[in-house]
Structure 1
């Protein structure tokens, strides 16, 4: 079994059942592997959570890098909507998994600071760029907790509106 499939199983377990359910045995069962197979990749629950946080950051950074827009904030908007549409970046599940140990969230906090401060001086109106980025954060959280609230049409409309605020 691949490492990403184990991380997917852990995220899925967290999203479905919450932090109390995150045990190595439960993740192994969800992934359909032995606990030993899981331990081969992750020697502890903290190592598993740390890997989920690292993957979340790397995945969003990769999404940012693939967006073809002229400003950082436009790339941020496009990457956020790509993440929400894919359902792949289960940020809330990752945060829930790390809730027992705030040090596990330190890399995510650092990434959030970077994502929400980088390029602000190049985006024209700094305050508008900040508001748009905060709107993206809000969408990501709402989409995690109530995905049916914003269907594809509503997401497209919201993305268009946020992008138009930046021109």
Structure 2
């Protein structure tokens, strides 16, 4: 059983049944492996949650890197909209909500600080870049609570308006 398959099983379990259902036995069953097989990769429920959080961070870092715009903020903005519109947001909500432990979310706090500091010195307008990044965080939060609030046209308009805040 591969580590990624176990993380997928844990995320699916969280999405389907909520954090109260997240037990090592339930994840192993969902993944179709023994509890010992799960424990080989994750020694505890906390290690499993930490693994899910770290994977979310890595996924978002890759999404930012894949955008190809001329500034980090434009890449961050495009990655945010891609994540929100693709359904990745649900994974973030359930994984971070499952933690209930600030220690387990420490890697996310570190990543968030990095995302909000990255490349600000090279941005043409650092204040506008910060405003756009903070707006992205607001979008994540609102869409987490009501994923069907906006349709694709509304997202496109929001993205265009945020891009307009940044120098060309």
TM-score (norm 1): 0.88
Partner of 2:104: 104
Please state if 1:91 is matched with 2:115: no
1:15/1:92 contact within 8 Å kept: no
* Residues 109 and 6 of structure 1: CA distance in aligned 2, closer, same or farther (over 3 Å): same
Preserved CA contact (<8 Å) 1:64 1:75? yes
Distance 1:94 1:37 in 2: 22
Moved more, 103-112 or 114-123: 114-123
- Give the structure 1 partner of residue 166 of structure 2: 166
5+ residue gaps, structure 1, are none
Q: Which moved further from structure 2: 81-90 or 49-58?
A: 81-90
Take 1:26 and 1:113, find their aligned partners in 2: how far apart are those partners? 34
Tell me which residue corresponds to 1:128.
Answer: 128
CA contact (8 A) 1:63 1:79 kept: yes
Q: Which runs of 4+ in 1 moved over 4 A?
A: none
Mapped partners of 1:30, 1:152: distance in 2: 33
| Aligned mates of 1:153, 1:12 — CA distance in 2 | 29
Shift of 1:129: 1.3
User: What's the CA shift for 1:98?
Assistant: 1.8
1:55 CA displacement: 0.5
Please identify, of 68-77 and 41-50, the stretch whose mean Cα deviation from structure 2 is larger: 41-50
CA distances 1:101-149 after superposition (whole Å, capped 9, x unpaired): 2111111100000001112222222222111111111212222232111
TM superposition score normalised by structure 2: 0.87
Distance in 1, matches of 2:126 and 2:120, equals: 5
Alignment: residue pair count: 166
Q: Mind listing any 5+ residue stretches in structure 2 that lack a counterpart?
A: none
Q: Distance in 1 between matches of 2:150 and 2:32?
A: 33
Instruction: Give the equivalent residue in structure 2 for 1:143.
Output: 143
